[in-house]
């Protein structure tokens, strides 16, 4: 897929028609999007799991943590796989730049740094991811399941999870309450 049609660096915003599905009222950071499909991380579904509990499970000491944030449900695929979305580059083994000042790291070393108080300042941890096969996301967009807008760091790191869906729709200048759940086709 050519760069101009890629939705990488965008939020996918669930349309009202997704209702009570696992993706209803979700905001997904699209990390990869190409001819082979797409990979995204849901950024507004907090779990009951805290970072300290996750670090305990990994047998990492965490006395230097400034706070004990919630871990998010990133999506239904590989729920045991962790992703750290963060704002600063680092010397971690497996990092990918998503946008200017926005990275995703999947290696354990970023969690070790965080447990020592040496990690990124702004971050969100997600377990699992959302995945789409070739053409699947495009088809869902055509069926009015998703809106998209360029990623916004303030929505990602500056707002509580329950406010992210509405704030993401407002980036488009929309009042989501006026949108239909069905797509119209001429």
Query: Of 81, 63, 118, 24, which is closest to residue 71 (Cα–Cα)?
Result: 81
pLDDT per residue rounded down to tens, the chain (186 residues): 445 678 889 999 999 888 888 899 999 999 999 999 999 999 999 999 999 999 999 988 888 777 889 999 999 999 999 999 999 888 888 999 999 999 999 999 999 998 888 889 899 999 999 999 999 999 999 999 999 999 999 999 999 999 999 999 999 998 776 555 554 444
Give this prediction's pTM. 0.90
Query: Of 153, 177, 157, 158, which is closest to residue 166 (Cα–Cα)?
Result: 177
Catalogue all structural domains in the chain, each as residue range(s) with its CATH number: 3-178 (3.40.1740.10)
Q: What is the DSSP letter of 130?
A: E
Q: What are the structure tokens assigned to 77, written together?
A: 């695929």
């Amino acid at each position: 897929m050519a760069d101009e049609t890629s939705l990488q660096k965008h939020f996918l915003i669930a349309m009202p028609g997704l209702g009570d599905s696992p993706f209803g009222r979700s905001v997904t950071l699209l990390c990869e999007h190409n001819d082979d499909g797409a990979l995204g991380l849901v950024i507004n579904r907090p779990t009951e799991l805290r970072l300290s509990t996750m670090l305990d499970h990994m047998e990492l000491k965490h006395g230097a943590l400034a706070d004990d944030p919630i871990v998010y449900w990133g999506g239904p695929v590989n729920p045991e796989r962790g992703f750290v979305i963060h704002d600063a580059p680092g010397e971690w083994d497996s990092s990918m730049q998503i946008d200017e000042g926005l990275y995703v790291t999947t290696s354990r070393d970023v969690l070790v740094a965080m447990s020592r108080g040496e990690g990124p300042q702004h971050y969100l941890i997600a377990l699992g991811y959302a995945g789409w096969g070739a053409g699947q996301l495009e088809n869902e967009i055509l069926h009015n399941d998703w809106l998209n807008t360029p990623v916004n760091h303030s929505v990602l790191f500056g707002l509580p999870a329950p406010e992210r869906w509405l704030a993401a729709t407002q980036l488009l200048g929309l009042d989501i309450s006026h949108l239909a759940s069905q797509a119209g086709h001429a």
